[in-house]
């Protein structure tokens, strides 16, 4: 293929900035932006004696790497001679030769056909089809002939092996009404009366069953559907739209549900996770606890009406006798119609942890620093027991009433209790007074026996304070 160089719209002209001889390979122009980017062609002069050059670069207003006399004779030119990117004989010849070469390339682009012809582009025929050679590699196109052969082989294999080893599972969408279902295996080459021992069918059920159910295959008589333990399926065991795998048993003349474990024998053990879904809308339909005489003594169920799990104890003679119920925020029991809270609503039974006591004066911590400080708490139901100890290195610049902030839970509206402060070192207290503490929301406030508020004025830079108490949440 010949190199083809882009043109320049309207072929704008520039001039030689100075005279050149026939050997010059760097051509000075008045405006080198007029010719297109390198590499490209340019024409010096006009008329029959013009010279076509090939340049490979631009530097400022100079064309560089110039091949002189690319077409036409190289010659000397005076300053001011016109220079432009004109359409040249080379442009026409390159275009014509490239088109001829392209048209001649019948083994790559042209010569498309719908026949299985090597080294040609595929062209669909009037019916939208095309031919392909016999596939050899794994990623070759498969022909209909090849696909039909494989399908036929599989079909014959299924029929030939059916009475020897029924390893295939045939998927069918059943039709019929509740408890009476029908399938057809003729599409698998199994028509008429195809039942044989071990025949496996995956059946999509069209309608919920309401009791013992039967399945009819082809022209066979209806056969009952049984659980693995031999029991009939119960109402709701077969759900519309669900798919169940059945295997035919010649010994029992019935279809056996595969993987179904709905009935349990006494003393059996279940490994793994067991899920039980209550049927219908009754929230109390769940697990019954039956004594050895067959009388229901208890029940475990989930009540969606109040989002609680319930353990219920029955008194056979009088009905409901007691409940224990719980969720994320309630743990309570009921005897008759009376409810009792086991723990205060919203609380866990026991919780322990640490908290960071923060001394404030008038609500500010400005400049207050510590040698050390620590706090601990224990929460039992809705009661919080707290303690703290702080050692100051500076009481800072804040002023106002003293308080210790940072308790882990806010006090409820229950009355607060005053507690004696266990240790108050280098804290001014009037003679005959002693320090007490009380809790408001998550803050501990400090008072004297007679109710005088302790403030920044009573603290020193090296004061030490420790206390403990409790409050309700």
State the DSSP code for 456: G
pLDDT in tens, 423-434: 899 999 888 888
Q: Are residues 305 and 390 in the same domain?
A: no
Q: Are 420 and 435 in contact (CB under 8 A)?
A: yes
Burial 334-348 (b: 16+ CB within 10 A, else e): beeeeeeeebbeebe
Mean pLDDT, to the nearest integer, of 439-457? 92
Q: Are residues 365 and 461 in the same domain?
A: yes
State the DSSP code for 211: S
Total domains present in the chain = 4
| Residue 154 banded pLDDT, cuts 50, 70, 90 | low
pLDDT in tens, 220-270: 999 999 998 889 998 888 999 999 999 999 999 999 998 754 555 445 555
Structure-model confidence comparison of residues 403 and 228, the more confident one: 403
Strand order in 443-448's β-sheet? 358-361, 402-405, 443-448, 435-440, 419-420
Q: What is the pLDDT of residue 33?
A: 95
Domain residues for the domain of 204 are: 169-257
pLDDT in tens, 45-66: 998 899 999 999 999 999 999 9
Q: Among residues of the chain, what percentage have pLDDT more than 90?
A: 51
Q: Are residues 56 and 80 in the same domain?
A: yes
Rounded CA separation 28/31 (Å): 9
Q: Are residues 417 and 460 in the same domain?
A: yes
Q: What's the mean per-residue pLDDT of the chain?
A: 85
Q: What is the pLDDT of residue 62?
A: 97
pTM as predicted: 0.35
- The answer to whether position 282 is within a domain reads no
Q: Among residues of the chain, what percentage have pLDDT more than 70?
A: 87
Mean pLDDT, to the nearest integer, of 160-188? 79
Residue 426, sorted as left (phi over 0), alpha (psi -120 to 50) or beta, turns out to be left
Q: Are residues 320 and 359 in the same domain?
A: no
**Domain boundary residue, one of 341, 365, 384:** 341
| Residue 458 banded pLDDT, cuts 50, 70, 90 | very high
Task: Among 3-12, 150-159, 193-202, name the most confident range.
Answer: 3-12
Q: Which two tokens stand for residue 185?
A: 């295996």
Q: Is the dihedral of CA 441, 444, 445, 449 positive or negative?
A: positive
């Amino acid at each position: 293929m010949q190199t083809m160089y882009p043109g320049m719209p309207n072929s704008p002209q520039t001039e030689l900035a100075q005279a050149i001889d026939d050997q010059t390979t760097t051509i000075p122009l008045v405006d080198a932006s007029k010719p297109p980017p390198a590499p490209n062609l340019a024409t010096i002069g006009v008329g029959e004696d013009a010279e076509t050059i090939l340049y490979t670069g631009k530097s400022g207003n100079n064309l560089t790497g110039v091949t002189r006399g690319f077409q036409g004779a190289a010659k000397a030119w005076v300053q001011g001679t016109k220079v432009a990117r004109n359409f040249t004989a080379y442009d026409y010849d390159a275009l014509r030769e490239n088109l001829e070469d392209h048209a001649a390339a019948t083994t790559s682009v042209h010569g498309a056909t719908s026949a299985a012809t090597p080294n040609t582009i595929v062209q669909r025929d009037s019916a939208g089809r095309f031919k392909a050679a016999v596939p050899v590699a794994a990623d070759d196109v498969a022909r209909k002939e090849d696909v039909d052969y494989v399908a036929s082989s599989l079909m014959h294999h299924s029929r030939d092996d059916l009475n020897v080893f029924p390893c295939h599972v045939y998927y069918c969408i059943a039709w019929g009404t509740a408890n009476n279902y029908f399938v057809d295996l003729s599409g698998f080459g199994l028509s008429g009366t195809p039942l044989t021992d071990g025949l496996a069918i995956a059946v999509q059920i069209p309608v919920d069953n309401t009791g013992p159910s039967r399945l009819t295959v082809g022209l066979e008589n209806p056969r009952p559907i049984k659980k693995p333990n031999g029991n009939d399926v119960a109402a709701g065991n077969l759900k519309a739209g669900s798919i169940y795998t059945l295997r035919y048993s010649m010994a029992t003349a019935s279809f056996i549900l595969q993987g179904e474990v709905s009935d349990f024998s006494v003393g059996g053990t279940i490994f793994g996770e067991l899920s039980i879904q209550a049927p219908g809308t009754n929230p109390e339909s769940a697990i019954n606890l039956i004594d050895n005489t067959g009388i229901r003594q208890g029940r475990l169920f989930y009540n969606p009406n109040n989002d609680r799990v319930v353990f219920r104890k029955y008194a056979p003679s009088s009905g409901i006798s007691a409940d224990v119920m719980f969720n994320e925020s309630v743990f309570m029991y009921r005897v008759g119609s009376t409810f009792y809270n086991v723990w205060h609503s919203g609380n866990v039974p026991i919780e322990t942890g640490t908290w960071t006591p923060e001394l404030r004066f008038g609500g500010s911590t400005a400049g207050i620093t510590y040698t050390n400080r620590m706090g601990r708490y224990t929460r039992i139901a809705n009661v919080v027991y707290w303690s703290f100890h702080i050692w100051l290195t500076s009481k800072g610049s804040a002023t106002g009433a003293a308080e210790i902030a940072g308790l882990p839970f806010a006090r409820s509206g229950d009355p607060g209790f005053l507690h004696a402060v266990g240790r108050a070192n280098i804290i001014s207290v009037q003679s005959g007074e002693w320090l007490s503490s009380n809790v408001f929301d998550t803050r501990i406030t400090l008072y004297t026996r007679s109710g005088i508020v302790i403030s920044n004025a009573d603290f020193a830079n090296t004061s030490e304070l420790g206390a403990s108490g409790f409050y309700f949440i």
